[in-house]
Amino acid sequence: MNKKIDNKSADNIRALAVAMVEKANSGHPGGPMGGADFMHILYAEFFNYDPSDMTWPFRDRFFMDAGHLSTLMYAQYYLLGNYEKEDLANFRQWGSITPGHPEVDVKRGIENTSGPLGQGHTMGVGAAIAAKFLQARFGDWMNHKIYGFISDGGIQEEISQGAGRIAGHLGLSNFIMFFDSNDIQLSTSTDEVTSEDTAKKYEAWGWNVVTIDGHNHDAIRKALTDANNEMEKPTLIIGRTIMGKGAVATDGSKFEGHCELHGQPIGHTGADYEKTLLNLGANFENPFDIFGDVSDFYKNIKKEKIAGAARQKANIVTWRKNNSELANKLDFFLSGKLPELDFSSIVHKEGLATRAASSAILSYLADHVDNMIVSSADLSNSDKTDGFLKKTQALKKGDFSGSFLQAGVAELTMACMANGLALHGGIIPVVATFFVFSDYMKPAIRLSAIQELPVIYVWTHDAFRVGEDGPTHQPVEQEAQLRLLEKLRNHSGKNSFLALRPADSAETSVAWKMALENNSTPTGLILSRQGIKDLPASNGSRYQEALASDKGGYLIKAVDNPDVVLIANGSEVATLLAAAEILMSKNNVKVNIVSIISEGLFRLQSKEYQNSVIPQDKPKFGLTAGLPVNLEGLVGDKGLVFGLGHFGYSAPATVLDEELGFTGEKVSKEILEFLKTV
Applying CB under 6 A, the residues found at the interface with ligand TPP are: 28, 30-31, 66, 68, 115-117, 151-153, 180, 182, 184-186, 243, 262
Residue 580 one-letter amino acid = A
**The dihedral sign for the CA sequence 276, 281, 285, 291:** negative
Kindly list the strands in the beta sheet with 554-557, ordered across the sheet, starting from the edge strand earlier in the chain: 554-557, 591-595, 564-568, 620-623, 640-642
Shortest distance (Å) from residue 651 CB to ligand TPP: 38
**CB 244 → ligand TPP: shortest distance, Å?**
9
Quote the least distance from Cβ 268 to ligand TPP, whole Å.
Answer: 16
402 CB-near residues (< 8 Å, 6+ apart): 392, 393, 394, 395, 396
DSSP state of 129: H
- Kind and range of the H or E run holding 237: strand 235-240
> Whose CA is closest to 161, among 192, 207, 210?
207
Residues in the chain: 678
Beta-strand ranges (E) seen in 569-611 are 591-595
Cβ within 8 Å of residue 413, ≥6 positions away: 122, 159, 161, 162, 163, 166, 407
| Catalytic annotation, pick one of 103, 157, 256, 411 | 411
Print the SS3 string covering 319-381. HHHHCHHHHHHHHHHHHCCCCCCCHHHCCCCCCCEHHHHHHHHHHHHHHHCCCEEEEECCCCC
The CB-of-145 to ligand TPP minimum distance in angstroms stands at 23
Nearest to 615 by CA among 629, 635, 585: 635
Q: Name which of 66 and 449 has its Cβ closer to ligand TPP.
A: 66
B/e letters for 635-655, b = 16+ CB within 10 Å, e = fewer, are beeebbbbbbeeebeebebee
C-beta of 150 vs 660, nearer to ligand TPP: 150
Shortest reach from residue 163's CB to ligand TPP, in Å: 14
Q: How far apart are CA 547 and CA 543, in angstroms?
A: 6
Edge-to-edge strands, sheet with 404-406: 404-406, 372-376, 428-434, 456-460, 523-526, 498-500
* Least spacing, CB of residue 31 vs ligand TPP, in Å: 3
- Nearer CB in complex with ligand TPP: 101/483: 101
Please say if 411 is a catalytic residue. Answer: yes
CB 209 to ligand TPP: min, Å: 18
Q: Give the SS3 label for residue 261.
A: helix
Catalytic residues, by residue number, are 411
